[in-house]
Structure 1
């Protein structure tokens, strides 16, 4: 079986087109970062599904994510500007380094448009996502928490869940290891948004 001439420590990929760099329909495998213009490395990282590295703090500070706005789905975990809400929910959570800087508030505001019913709050641990549900009764609140738990257990990234008053559930998402928000929080928020709640909420009225 022919393999690419790019070697990775964990795997090699079959490739039947040796000139795949010139073919727009094939992923290009990003090479490890080399010295040289950072933008050039990013250009070859459009489909950074394999072996993409986390950005360095200095790159985050320079807001280099702004330079890749045109790219569809970079793996740099700063922002995914062109992703739709439904495809955001299809993303998987990825391990986060404690050295990674939390998401900038302006990037969080941009991604907030892609999740329904969530808002940004500033907590003691930095920026958080918060969502409130008004349910029919206490039992519906318990059922919603069970449904949320099933989703987040599979994702491996957990919100704080509170059953408040007789019939309100509050969820808060953030990544405590970095002291703020990461892409994982928005991915889980989008997954939670897909939970069926129509059988738990009061008869449809205008939301207060």
Structure 2
């Protein structure tokens, strides 16, 4: 699985079925190499984004919400005045799926704008 962040960012999330297994440690390791600044925490991946002010933070949160709605894959988001923490996991399978990495890549691409 030689996937780049650009490859991930152009993919679309697929519906996860409960029978689908979580990604293997090897798959997670390979996909983590494609993301910048995300932390692997067992069954989740998490990243904190920093901004100059509350307005920029909220604009980013709204953009993440739009991506999440479009992909039908929703993160846990913690918002502060000038920071936002985004955390992904796939609840239906009790671990990480490619969808988590697709959305993380889309958010990383958004943050670079």
Normalised TM-score (structure 2): 0.91
Query: Which structure has the higher relative contact order (CA within 8 Å, separation 6+)?
Result: 2
Length, aligned pairs only? 113
What whole-Å deviation, never above 9, does each CA across 1:21-69 have from its counterpart, x for those lacking one?
Answer: xxxxxxxxxxxxxxxxxxxxxxxxxxxxxxxxxxxxxxxxxxxxxxxxx
Q: Deviations over 1:121-177 (max 9, x none)?
A: 13xxxx10101011112222111101111122111111111103x311000001001
Paired residue for 2:67, among 151, 154, 172? 151
2:46 to 130, 133, 153: 130
Bigger radius of gyration among the two: 1
Task: Output the aligned Cα RMSD.
Answer: 1.4
TM-score, scaled relative to structure 1: 0.51
For residue 52 of structure 2, give the secondary structure of its aligned residue in structure 1: coil
| Structure 2 equivalent of residue 185 of structure 1 | 100
Cα distance in 2 between the residues matched to 1:115 and 1:197: 13
Moved segments of 4+, more than 2 Å: none
Structure 2 counterpart of 1:97: 17
Q: Quick one: distance in 2 between partners of 1:143 and 1:194?
A: 15
